[in-house]
Amino acid sequence: MGIIAPRDIDRFVARPPAETILFLVFGADAGLVSERLRALGRGLRAAPDEPLEIEVFEGNDVADEPLGLIESAHMVSMFGGRRLLHINLGSKSIIPALEKLLDDPPQDARILVEAGDLKRDQPLRKLAEAHKNAAAIICYPDSEQDIAALVDATFTEAGLALDPDARETLLAHLGADRLSTRAELEKLVIYAHGQGSVSLADVEAIVADTSLLAVEALVHAAFSGDLGEVDARLRRLRACGGTGAVLPLLLRQALALHRARLELDAGKPLDAALQSLVRQGFGGPQRQALAGQLKALSALRLQQTIDAVQQTIAATRTMPQLAEAALDRVLWTIARRSARA
């Protein structure tokens, strides 16, 4: 059967071929591996309500005593349905046991092997890719397009409209792995139940890194010269003790803006300079704000900001008791200068 192409995986796991005995599901995204294993379990049922026996084996135990797996695979199910033998791959080779099952395929059992990231030359991967009765399903980390499709499908299924700025913020803060992405979306769906739509405020209230979102909003307000927003955001962050990340993010944004501003001064169009910011992890719902910051702040002013933030970081390390006052001073300096720009 070989390795399943990414575009075919969803269709394959929903209706696995009857002749496929062994399914190797592996990759760096543990959440996606787990999700596809569950989907395979559903797909391998002959009917939605068919009873399905699942027996879990540890890979190292199978390597030490392969006969237990082989006997279990050829056992007749007491409920009359198909049986799944789920193997968590360990450090020892289970290839001898799997080869025996592929040479003498069980009638009513299927073997699912769960593994982490496997290189192309790893023997288990080569076996699954080469054998006609085996399939290898690789789970790459979600791309931006994958995350966008998952977000849209989740809220469509829940009957919720997603405001454009809320969607862009979600896309910028999801994707650590499939499991955590689904968990965040499910929390948001529950939170917004009955509302009809999901707003940016809902996203900021419920996503796991809400404190980071709040810090990013404060930093953007400072570089945009929005004094009222700086005051409101800073008060809220200080009330919950979440100002620790402000200085590092101020420095990160100042450095990124300075680099992009130099490109602008060298003759690149604004869109190209903004694309430079996107490559550095900026953009999304803040693209318009970034464009305004780039046009308003000179390279000299941004270099002065970088120097001021670096000095503030150094001062807070040597005199932590003055950290709050030092943060206020540099934050308001940036905001006032940006307001005048």
- Per-residue pLDDT of 258-299, as tens digits, reads 999 999 999 988 888 888 787 777 766 677 788 889 889 999
Region of 159 (left: φ > 0; alpha: ψ -120 to 50; beta: rest) is left
The share of the chain scoring above pLDDT 70, in percent, equals: 92
pLDDT at 235: 86
The answer on pLDDT for 333 being more than 70 is yes
φ, ψ of residue 256 to 5 degrees: the values are: -65, -45
* Tokens (6 digits) for 206: 């419920």
- Identify the structural domains of the chain with CATH numbers, from first to last: 6-138 (3.40.50.300), 144-206 (1.10.8.60), 224-340 (no CATH)
Cα 90–Cα 95–Cα 96 angle in degrees, nearest 5: 125
Lowest mean pLDDT among 59-68, 284-293, 302-311: 284-293
CA pair distance 240, 224, nearest whole angstrom: 24
The answer on pLDDT for 97 being more than 80 is yes
The answer on pLDDT for 66 being more than 90 is yes
- Per-residue pLDDT of 15-45, as tens digits, reads 999 999 999 999 988 888 988 998 998 898 7
Closest alpha carbon to 92 in 130, 65, 132: 65
Cα 94–Cα 98–Cα 102 angle in degrees, nearest 5: 170
Name the burial class of residue 165, with classes exposed (0-12), middle (13-18) and buried (19+) by CB atoms within 10 angstroms of its CB.
Answer: middle
CA pair distance 331, 341, nearest whole angstrom: 16
pLDDT at 299: 93
pLDDT at 312: 92
Looking at the whole model, is its pTM more than 0.75?
no
Name the burial class of residue 271, with classes exposed (0-12), middle (13-18) and buried (19+) by CB atoms within 10 angstroms of its CB.
Answer: exposed
Average pLDDT, rounded, for the chain: 87
CA pair distance 142, 150, nearest whole angstrom: 10
135, 107 in Cβ contact below 8 A?
no
R_g of the chain, CA atoms, integer Å: 27
pLDDT at 49: 64
The answer on pLDDT for 322 being more than 60 is yes
What residues are paired with 162 via a beta bridge?
198
pLDDT at 216: 82
CA pair distance 320, 167, nearest whole angstrom: 38
pLDDT at 208: 56
φ, ψ of residue 48 to 5 degrees: the values are: -55, -35
pLDDT at 217: 82
The answer on pLDDT for 172 being more than 70 is yes
What residues are paired with 23 via a beta bridge?
112, 135
CA pair distance 158, 151, nearest whole angstrom: 11
pLDDT at 240: 67
* Tokens (6 digits) for 235: 């008060």
What residues are paired with 161 via a beta bridge?
197
Lowest mean pLDDT among 18-27, 53-62, 138-147: 138-147
